[in-house]
Structure 1
Amino acid sequence: MAIKGLLSSFSKTKGRIFKWNSIIACSKWSSTTPGRSYDDTLAIRKKHLTPALLTYYTKPVLIHQGYKQWLFDHTGKRYLDLFAGIVTVSVGHCHPKLVEVAQRQLETLWHTTNIYLHPTIHEFAEQLTSKLPGDLKVVYFTNSGSEANDLAVIMAKLHTGAHDIVTLRNSYHGGSPFAMEMTNIGTWKYPLHRHLGIHASINPDVFRGPWGGANCRDSIAQTQRPCNCAKGQCEASLMYADQLEDLLKHCCPKKVAGFLAETIQGVGGAVHLPKGFLKRAYELIRERGGVCISDEVQCGFGRLGTHYWGFETQDVVPDIVTMAKGIGNGFPMAAVVTTPSMTQALHFNTFGGNPMACAIGSAVLDVIDEEKLQANCNHVGTLLLSELMKLRDEFEVVGDIRGKGLMIGLELVKNKETKEPLPAAEVTEIWENCKNHGVLIGKGGLYGTTLRIKPPMCVTEEDVRFAVGVLRAVLKEYSSK
């Protein structure tokens, strides 16, 4: 099918934007961003913003408006957003309920630090902890995922009296100086003073790692490697856990402070840990007096579909849970949730738990429940994974499809057998062409060759058909050269 045909459903009339065949309720459309042209915006960015703020695409997109799973540039062109502001927009851009709640809170109280009582922080804390199992009932509010992970590790060290922290290679836990030490993707590390006591175990990657096969993931998306595992079991997870145990024996003191991991690695390219790995890893850490921390910054709030939290898919309960991004649907906020026994850390944050953040966070939880977005992630995500696996079967360049719910990765390779990464220029060509035809996708992984597909959780079956159609057309165009 020609790409032009795929885009025939895109339409715009003056003052109205159409979502497929129904009108999107949004503010009056203006053809350019207020007061600044595209060229002026680029000039200001070049002059006044740090060059460390990289932009996506050869010709960056100037976003002007958003609604649910859609973004619109300054010309009115519409894009299906499959990256959700780096896995941050959980319930949809400018969701009407969140807009209403934010406006109401703005008229009531913007800010007071949490040294005072105000209703929203208490209501949200109670609502948020009701979503967590066991004794995970104490909340520290922060502003970002990096800060949440920093605080979680400080808490682990204070609680245990130990110093060493274990993470996984290929992990990303933030960009602050301490979180960067726990991040183990070379792209995101700088030659700064290194904190001692951070250890990274082998990444349990059943696609690129030494062990793993077609029965190892808790997902319909499996690798195409042969697998001898019995149903419900994963020998690879035990082998990766053995490597963790070896690291603990040789590189760590007898007592460690903790272990920090995601269930599906976000920046690392949606690498999905094999079934049972976290269960054994948690046992090994706890045997050495450490606590277990689950980084739910990208996996949490129902995105994986079958469960509300990523750690639940591995049948474990951590001692500390960190969360950010989707918790506020784009409003800057984060949280650390732990048990009453782990509250030695005195933590003060000027903006953490502010009235605006808590009001919006509470509304996000309401929308996830009211619109059954966790179930939508399971249903639409399963459909999307099954359609993407068809692309893997059709195209040599698609090496692996992985993930669960709406936390998905599509890894591009030069050769399926050798798994040689596709050269960066060719990845960029495919990625840019998806954008040119109305689909925004992220990139990640060690080699930057994984398309990160993690849309707002309100995407529909129709969106899946459109997105896969664009991907298929773009891959056909690439493969025909």
Structure 2
Amino acid sequence: MPFLKCQFFKPNKVLQIRKVSTSVLPELPECKHIPSAYTGPDYEILAKAHGTTISPSLKPFYKKPLLIHEGRGQWLWDHEGNRFLDMFGGIATVSVGHSHPKVVAAATEQMQKLGHTTTIYMHPRYLEYAEKLTAKLPGDLKVAYLVNSGSEATELALLMARLYTGNNEIISLKNSYHGGTLTASTTTGLSTFRHPIYRPGGHIHVMNPDVYLGPWGGSRCRDSPIPPGGRKCDCEPNECSACEKYFSEFLDTFKFSLPRDGNIAAFIAESIQGIGGAVQYPKSYLSKVASHVKRKGGLFIADEVQTGFGRTGEHFWGFEAHGIQPDIVTMAKGIGNGFPLGAVVTTMKIANSLNKAAHFNTFGGNPVACATASAVLDVIEEEKLKENSLEVGTYLLHRLSTLMVEFPNVIGDVRGKGLMIGVELVNDPETKKPLESQHMTDIFEDIKEMGVLLGKGGLYANVLRLKPPMCVTKKDADFTVETIEAALRRHQDRIVSAEPVYVGVP
């Protein structure tokens, strides 16, 4: 069953064949980069290490996990030379493309000069980057504290909010993800990431305003080129009834779950939920919530770990589409194009709250991290990657929406904005019951075998997540859609072939 694999030449290796299906399959877009030959440990040695030397909790994707060897732009190669279109970007982390030459050069140059010094000394890279980063943010958001990850950023933001307000309660949405450390995972509203241990108090999860799966929502409720699957809108012009109903549920939290005065430390939310499955809210929901929280003495924390740095296309930050002025912004992932880095940006008044005790971060603001992140900002501007996210992302969303017509019994919803996209697969379009995990796994495997790497999200891992490097093209979008289409056809064929045949008795 021949299928042409990555068409490039390698030392001692010419055109290779990937075995999949005899049906006509999409052809990988051209790639001129020639990867080096893999010379690392045998695949079997590395596979065995997972669960022994490497923690068994770190579970790779796929039945036969990929051994990734090299990356360039939107492309990845495994140890055998198979080429894959990376439409997941290391979980929305590779923002400007794998091994971008300008980013690599900046990191290399800085490493050769000074690899590390912590904040007990000054170095120019921290200031250079902090000024460049805060120039991208509105209002008084001009003080940057650099950390190593999104989880650390969440921890620090919550600490600041509690210190500044003198209140303890943190409100977040169900289905949200804010990190894997203890406090961050307590704020996270997904049971998938909550271990059965004692957790610190002061964390409340409220109803997720999901206009597709939730009780309210319609075709005009969310800020996406594609309306919620199968839902009509009963909203009046300039008024979203779904928003009002979800906001009413939010207010109930202040009536029943908070101290009588209703004061809280903070409300934290992603602009579009990432690991939750690219879930979007009614357009004015976050702005109404933020206003109420501030009236109650709390802060609004915008989690831009996945939506920041131009990924949503229209704006540099996801919160800008909601018309919000946050008090604190957390960021990570795309900030360093894969280099371990996170940041918390806030006002001077809030930042000063940390002076109530000693606080520092050994690796936060590392010179190499700052040089890398500074180069990332330059590339986003020079290559107009925010604009590319909007153009290619909108094109991709519209193309994916055509599959809803072709596969109405499998695709329940296509949503997102820019290159922050989710495709929800269902077992029943009426009940919106998630597609069974075995079917989901088979589709996911088929997409990989045809050369595209995606993510999975949502509580039941039934949402295909597309968050590629922002350098992807419309040809890449076409190939992705054609690949998903081919995988769904295979899924339908499997369903048909598994159905029993009944022979009538005359």
**Equivalent residue letter for 1:361:** A
**Equivalent residue letter for 1:248:** F
SS at match of 2:276: coil
Q: In structure 1, what is the Cα distance between the partners aligned to 2:220 and 2:236?
A: 8
In structure 2, the CA distance between the partners of 1:198 and 1:21, relative to structure 1 (3 Å rule), is closer
Q: Unmatched 5+ residue regions in structure 2?
A: 16-27, 495-506
**Equivalent residue letter for 1:261:** A
2:242 is equivalent to residue 229 of structure 1: no
Q: Unmatched 5+ residue regions in structure 1?
A: none
- What is the match of residue 160 of structure 2? 155
- What is the match of residue 309 of structure 1? 317
> Per-residue deviation at 1:17?
11
2:271 is equivalent to residue 263 of structure 1: yes
> Per-residue deviation at 1:102?
1.1
> Per-residue deviation at 1:403?
0.7
- What is the match of residue 194 of structure 1? 199
> Per-residue deviation at 1:311?
0.5
- What is the match of residue 249 of structure 1? 255
Q: In structure 2, what is the Cα distance between the partners aligned to 1:422 and 1:3?
A: 30
2:365 is equivalent to residue 353 of structure 1: yes
> Per-residue deviation at 1:21?
4.0
CA-to-aligned-CA distance 1:127-147 (integer Å, 9 cap, x gap):
000000011000111111011
Q: In structure 2, what is the Cα distance between the partners aligned to 1:192 and 1:3?
A: 50
State how 1:92-103 maps to structure 2 within 5 Å: 92-103=97-108
Q: 1:17, 1:23 within 8 Å by CA — same for their partners in 2?
A: no
In structure 2, the CA distance between the partners of 1:257 and 1:3, relative to structure 1 (3 Å rule), is farther
- What is the match of residue 240 of structure 1? 246
In structure 2, the CA distance between the partners of 1:46 and 1:410, relative to structure 1 (3 Å rule), is same
**Equivalent residue letter for 1:402:** R
Q: In structure 2, what is the Cα distance between the partners aligned to 1:137 and 1:406?
A: 27
Q: In structure 2, what is the Cα distance between the partners aligned to 1:447 and 1:234?
A: 28
2:331 is equivalent to residue 323 of structure 1: yes
Q: In structure 2, what is the Cα distance between the partners aligned to 1:242 and 1:445?
A: 24
**Equivalent residue letter for 1:390:** T
Q: In structure 2, what is the Cα distance between the partners aligned to 1:212 and 1:176?
A: 33
Q: In structure 2, what is the Cα distance between the partners aligned to 1:399 and 1:20?
A: 28
In structure 2, the CA distance between the partners of 1:231 and 1:391, relative to structure 1 (3 Å rule), is farther
2:444 is equivalent to residue 431 of structure 1: yes
State how 1:147-186 maps to structure 2 within 5 Å: 147-186=152-191
Q: In structure 1, what is the Cα distance between the partners aligned to 2:193 and 2:238?
A: 35
**Equivalent residue letter for 1:452:** R
Q: 1:256, 1:290 within 8 Å by CA — same for their partners in 2?
A: yes
Moved more, 63-72 or 339-348: 339-348
Q: In structure 2, what is the Cα distance between the partners aligned to 1:17 and 1:307?
A: 44
Number of residue pairs matched by the alignment: 473
Q: In structure 1, what is the Cα distance between the partners aligned to 2:185 and 2:290?
A: 22
**Equivalent residue letter for 2:242:** A
- What is the match of residue 385 of structure 1? 397
**Equivalent residue letter for 1:407:** M
Q: In structure 1, what is the Cα distance between the partners aligned to 2:138 and 2:247?
A: 25
**Identical-pair percentage:** 50
Q: 2:29, 2:475 within 8 Å by CA — same for their partners in 1?
A: no
SS at match of 2:52: helix
- What is the match of residue 499 of structure 2? none
> Per-residue deviation at 1:33?
3.7
- What is the match of residue 295 of structure 1? 303
- What is the match of residue 342 of structure 1? 350
- If you compute each CA radius of gyration, which structure gives the higher value, 1 or 2? 2
Q: 1:88, 1:329 within 8 Å by CA — same for their partners in 2?
A: yes
Q: In structure 1, what is the Cα distance between the partners aligned to 2:29 and 2:191?
A: 42
**Equivalent residue letter for 1:352:** G
Q: 2:172, 2:204 within 8 Å by CA — same for their partners in 1?
A: yes
Q: 1:329, 1:364 within 8 Å by CA — same for their partners in 2?
A: yes
Q: 2:50, 2:58 within 8 Å by CA — same for their partners in 1?
A: no
State how 1:268-279 maps to structure 2 within 5 Å: 268-279=276-287
- TM-score normalised by L of structure 2: 0.91
> Per-residue deviation at 1:22?
5.2
**Equivalent residue letter for 2:177:** Y
- What is the match of residue 454 of structure 2? 441
Moved more, 110-119 or 371-380: 110-119
Q: 1:233, 1:275 within 8 Å by CA — same for their partners in 2?
A: no
Q: In structure 2, what is the Cα distance between the partners aligned to 1:233 and 1:76?
A: 54
Q: 1:81, 1:440 within 8 Å by CA — same for their partners in 2?
A: yes
SS at match of 1:414: strand
Q: 1:33, 1:64 within 8 Å by CA — same for their partners in 2?
A: no
- What is the match of residue 500 of structure 2? none
